[in-house]
Amino acid sequence: MNMSEIPALSISTTLLASEKISALRLVSDSIAQQRQTLNRRIITHPYFLAPTLLLFAVIIKLNYHRTSDLPTVTILLAGVTIALLSLVSRYSSQYLERAEAVGNANGLRSFVDAPEREVIIAKWGERVIGTVVLYFFEGNMDAQVWTWTVERRYRGKGLGRDLVPSYQFLFFKC
């Protein structure tokens, strides 16, 4: 690839509805990815693994006496595994509901039309790969970072850190 063909990285505020929608879809994807991370962390946490392994041991101890019991024990363990994974999924379902609420048509419309939100985007060429959304409180000069995310494949490369000066500038400009 020629150096002239590499797209430029730009960080700026945006007023364009299409870029705001791209930023919000990025936020929605990030929320869904947070759910996956939470599920993985719960499942691999010692406080979850220890009782699970203990339960498996009890099931095996009570039901496995000879080789012919192996199919029964396998089905029992599979059933318990499915039940436990369903519980974890249920526990983290709020993340998915929030991602859907942010990414649906009503959420997008209210987001784009909100004058109290300032959207900063990082674009790689024409693709929005990072965003910071600031929420300015009505009637005073206070603001907060409503959300801040970078597309998964660009994380760990310093782009999120590069977005900090852009929103600090807006804070101090108020």
- Residues in contact with 85: Cβ distance below 8 Å, sequence separation at least 6, in sequence order: 43
Quote the tokens at residue 92: 């983290």
Is residue 168 over pLDDT 80? no
CA distance 78 to 75: 5
The reported pTM is 0.75
Is residue 110 over pLDDT 90? no
Look at residue 11 in the predicted model and tell me its pLDDT. 84
- pLDDT tens for each residue of 117-135: 788 899 998 899 999 888 8
Question: Which position has the higher pLDDT, 56 or 20?
Answer: 56
Quote the tokens at residue 163: 């977005």
